[in-house]
Chain A
């Protein structure tokens, strides 16, 4: 009897544990918004759904946050649509236990405000599920990149679990109490585990918009000093395309740790939101600051050192990289006819024709010649390495040699003393000398 009662009690306990949602809905919002088909058409004519899937919300990043913490203007029922706007810069529900300061996204907002994307943030737009912004707005809102994703990214879950198991012994030694360990511990751990996205996902975020070349053509860029709007440069329009051709982009595509993602260079510091135009002097990608940006830890460390100014001269968004776009059929591309390859192929072709014709001439007329000299530098080789006299001196010596026997022959006293025999001798020596002379000049 007692045993079955205990079993029933355990079952009840189990049931109550399962039935508890992650957070009870204290304001009763879900009593209406949980209904499926709670749809309406807004002032822009966009078909919207106001249905909230309770399970889906509870498992999201803000799953434990009551609706009213963000939708502050909603006080009673029924409420107006305009009152549902959310300000991501407002202070949050989380309190920093040591200082009692409420957490806020305002630091990020401040940083974002300095960036080229600053116009994307304004009150009211950022929190709402504004579908129309995708088509009309040039600057991204918070939501464009940060949808209500899972609090712990999937790639970090194992790492987070491991850290969470040890949190009580490691962090809990000093940071005791429920406020720290219960509520704040997880938030801190999330920070310790590291970045939410890997480099590939980071780049995908940027390339989602910047990779759309037609959309980028419509972007209005702002001059940093005069604040005038002007159409974008071709370099800006093709920026994601040229980036994927650089080693930075290709390494990340290959899932390497060594590649540099977009924000690694464009927003290396702080909360990674301060993306400025490269013409801005405060920008990390401004030519004056490149040495510092390239020389971040684990990257090109010595670019900061004096004497290495040339290192930062490489254009990472060079338009010439775009020529590498058609990797599938590079030699059938008509663009290649205008490329340097074909221009420089002309002298190569002329040299090739000279080579071919020269070879034919040699084959027909000179192939039986034993002696072959290099077309260039052959004489110098003979002179410097072999130690023979230069060509001119050799020719002179040969000429001198050929003169000497003639002088001997025509010497009058020899002719006078012994006319017949010596003349014969002289004739033979002359015959002997002449082939020897030709030997010398040839050898």
Chain B
């Protein structure tokens, strides 16, 4: 009975979101794999691969790039569609459709919180783009196949293995499969809210969040926005945010558009309507809702997507919140760690 109560307590939008993830999983993953089979695939590799074509091999030319694009035509088109929808509506693919991150999230949400590891407070932008740089440049240069650390092959193979197919079992028996399984468990199932893999290691997510951040300034872009004057600092949104995108700065919720997936959960849990998934407001800043007998009544909410709050100051100079040096440091560190991991099974 408690299970039913808990299910009923899920906000309406989140129910829709979980349903969308399940639907996408059914149509993209085995045993049905309905969409991949339209092009004769039963997994998300080959023509459907979205994560390989932008790798940089030292000395490669544009011709090589177009060879890569040609061999993964549908993946490239899907990637372009994802980026375009992100520009307008936020990271809809990541939050509402992606079966790989979605399944990890759903299985994590079914697990009790006491077993979770809290990854959300780590400096995720540095780690994400450090790994992204490693993935784009260092991995091809070191001769490591980018497919050896890919979640888009792990989840389909895992489902195949569970249905008893030999290819999936043999993948999981291999050392590459074991490393990927460990990453899936640590950063997916046993991570708080289950989105740590998406936040740290997913290259699609990394490219997507750049677009999300760039688009946040555009006048038509739907994003999760905060009305500062309504926020009471109750921090329930920050606790529920699965991406760790909301941070309490001076007791006001601040959304990091580099990490936000527009999953809408913060809007559902906020009692004060201080967050909303909207386009920027048309009215001027702090303009009153109506003026009655020269009295301003209740200013309209000023939906803000980006909050500039410089935290570091050095000799009167305002430093950016995230420096390129820190990203480079993370990249070097991650390269060393990954070489050790990958080297152990070469």
Contacts and interface: CB of A to CB of B under 8 A. Distances in A.
Given A386-B239, A387-B249, A344 B178 contact: yes
A384 B247 contact: yes
B287 interface: no
Interface residues of B, number: 43
Interface stretch (B166-174, B213-221, B272-280, B323-331): B166-174
Contact of B246 (A306, A313, A358, A385): A385
Interface in B4-43: none
Nearest to B235: A386
A324 interface: yes
Interface in B74-120: 112-120
B175 interface: yes
Contacts of A355: 115
Interface string A288-319: 00000000000001100111111111100000
A440 B114 CA distance: 21
Interface in B226-277: 235, 238-239, 244, 246-251
A57 to B, nearest CB: 46
B9 to A, nearest CB: 15
Given A311-B143, A385-B244, A387-B249, A330 B169 contact: yes
Contacts of A28: none
B166 A301 contact: no
A305 B60 contact: yes
Interface string B42-76: 00000000000000011110011001000000000
Given A385-B246, A386-B239, A302 B121 contact: no
A310 B144 contact: yes
Contacts of B119: 377
A327 B170 contact: yes
A176 to B, nearest CB: 41
A378 interface: yes
**From DSSP, what is the main secondary structure of chain A's interface residues?**
helix
A362 B114 contact: yes
Contact of A372 (B112, B117, B169): B112
Contacts of A380: 118, 121
B142 interface: yes
**From DSSP, what is the main secondary structure of chain B's interface residues?**
mixed
Which range contains the number of A residues in contact with the other chain? 35 or more
B112 A362 contact: yes
B53 to A, nearest CB: 14
Contacts of A308: 57-59, 140-141, 143
Given A308-B143, A385-B121, A385-B238, A374 B178 contact: no
A383 interface: yes
A290 to B, nearest CB: 11
Nearest to B173: A341
B304 interface: no
A381 B192 CA distance: 11
A376 B246 contact: no
A354 to B, nearest CB: 10
A291 to B, nearest CB: 11
B334 to A, nearest CB: 17
Contacts of A373: 113-114
Interface in A332-390: 336, 339-341, 344, 355, 358-359, 362, 372-378, 380-381, 383-387
Given A302-B64, A310-B144, A372-B112, A385 B247 contact: yes
A190 to B, nearest CB: 31
Contacts of A312: 143
Nearest to A311: B143
15 contacts: A307-B57, A307-B58, A308-B58, A327-B170, A328-B166, A330-B173, A339-B173, A373-B114, A377-B117, A381-B192, A384-B121, A385-B120, A386-B239, A387-B235, A387-B248
Given A301-B64, A307-B59, A375-B117, 5 more contacts: A302-B57, A305-B57, A308-B57, A309-B143, A372-B112
Interface of B: 57-60, 63-64, 67, 112-122, 140-144, 166, 169-170, 172-175, 178, 192, 235, 238-239, 244, 246-251, 346
Query: Which 5 interchain pairs have the tightest Cβ spacing?
Result: A310-B143, A305-B59, A307-B58, A377-B118, A374-B118
